[in-house]
Amino acid sequence: MENNLVLYNTLTRTKEKFEPLNAPFVGMYVCGPTVYSDVHLGNCRTFVSFDLIFRYLLHLGFKVRYVRNITDAGHLEGDRDEGDDKFAKKAKLEQLEPMEIVQKYTLGFHDVLRLFNTLPPSIEPTATGHISEQIEMVKQIIDNGFAYESNGTVYFDVEKYVQSNDYTVLTNRKLEDMLNNTRELGGQDEKRGRLDFALWIKAKPEHIMRWPAPWSVGFPGWHIECSAMSSKYLGAQFDIHGGGMDLAATHHTNEIAQSEACNHVHPAKYWMHTNMLTVNGARMSKSAGNGFLPHQLFTGDHPLLTRGYSPMSVRFFMMQAHYRSTLDFSNEALDAADKGYKRLMSAIALLDKMKATDSKPSSFDCAATRDRCYAAMNDDFNSPVLIAELFEVVRFVNAAYDGKAKIDSQTITEIKSLMQHFVCDILGLKDDLLTQDNGSLDELMQIIINIRNEAKANKDFTTSDRIREELSAAGIQLKDSKDGTLWNKI
């Protein structure tokens, strides 16, 4: 398929034509979760957004190697290479081994992403599984003159780096402002420069997760795992590096510096950042305590929720916003998304039951609609515009079903294929109810429809009306036609 994809590159702050370094192969690295606690809905938004991107690249025919890491070591509570280790703290709290914590929350993460129908990445490397690669990288950065050891801890030398490189290339900030916003060094600090950050940290006696290295028994700094694992699996330079917007200022800025200092090339051609899921305008985060867990959203078991929503309604809610826009959570927005999702699914179900009412080509121009759907996705993965196009299709399908528009068999086939591509393959939506047990639900409905028909034949209209009304209240619509009684979800 022709590649007309244009995407927004955070690095250049412009939309650029997507030209992979080595087409048709595409290397994509996305910063994964830190698995010391459950992922919240905000985290999920980022991974669902990259799932849309992954799916569309696959749809265009690219051979994507999608690497998404699991951070299972090296995260301290403070952003300044200090404070307790988050894994050890949680392990103590839950009376588990740190690796039990890692296993528990990794499994939970996978379960949640499966419910959201995300495709698994091609490789999911862990930080603890790549300690030697990280040590090798730190050695190389020291050899290249961009890092120094101080009392067993190794720091990246930002002052040295900025002499020959642009440290703020990703965020376009002024180095001076960054310095002014960073605490002055005190007498006890081991690092030389205010902006220097740790590549390897000497473990304190109480620190459980520790590995031997040339400088000390310790553990890797926060950022080095992503530089080491992305270059290991995708090469020193690859196509797309992604993550949430909150990672650009520190984590990604430092990743770029480490990779450049080690390999002398900028690691990624395109940097992509997803915007935040917010609650009443504030970013959803673990530390702010405003994070819903996905299962709370599915069951409705949270003070801010009036009811539960299905994973696919929530995925649809996410897809209704562009990945670079903030998405504010509210019950009203989720109710609207739930309705929209059901309308879309019900139109797809109707297509399976629909029969041609005309032999002439229908007035609906499916080819033009398909072009507009591609145009939306080619414009930096614009899923809200795509969804607006798909609702035009829904309108036509409903009109045809109600006999208000004519439809020929060729158009039915084309619309089915359009919906399969854009709704199922690209937006990653599936019918929550029908796909779980499509066959038996249909069989059940046939039994109910037969009972209703018998009631009607016996002139027991109280029963037949009651069946129709109660099904309607449960979200299932019956429609009597010359081909018998059809049913669909509302």
Contact residues toward Zn ion (CB under 5 A) are 31, 226
Residue span 248-287 as binding mask against ligand AMP, x where in contact by CB under 6 A, dash where not: --------------------------x-xx-----xxx--
Q: Tell me how far, at minimum, the Cβ of 283 lies from ligand AMP, in Å.
A: 5
Residue 277 interacting entry, from Zn ion, ligand AMP, none, C-beta within 5 to 8 Å by type: ligand AMP
Residue 428 interacting entry, from Zn ion, ligand AMP, none, C-beta within 5 to 8 Å by type: none
Q: Which of 34, 69, 117, 253 binds ligand AMP (CB under 6 A)?
A: 34
Distance separating alpha carbons of residues 148 and 79, to the nearest angstrom: 20
Contact 230, 260 (CB under 8 A): no
Residue ranges at the known binding site for ATP: 286
Residue ranges at the known binding site: 31, 226, 251, 255, 286
Q: What is the residue type of 211? A: W
* Nearest residue (CB) to Zn ion, 3 versus 250: 250
Which range binds ligand AMP by CB under 6 A, 27-35, 84-92, 157-165, 466-474?
27-35
Find residue 156's DSSP bridge partners: 147, 197
Closest C-alpha to 406, from 434, 348, 364: 364
Does the footprint of ligand AMP cover residue 76 (CB under 6 A)? Answer: no
Residue 27 interacting entry, from ligand AMP, Zn ion, none, C-beta within 5 to 8 Å by type: none
Could you say which residues in the range 213-252 bind ligand AMP, by CB under 6 A? 243-244, 246-247
Q: Which of 20, 33, 218, 221 binds ligand AMP (CB under 6 A)?
A: 33
Q: What is the residue type of 238? A: F
* Nearest residue (CB) to ligand AMP, 318 versus 350: 318
Q: Tell me how far, at minimum, the Cβ of 244 lies from ligand AMP, in Å.
A: 2
Positions that interact with ligand AMP (CB under 6 A): 31, 33-34, 42-43, 45-46, 243-244, 246-247, 274, 276-277, 283-285
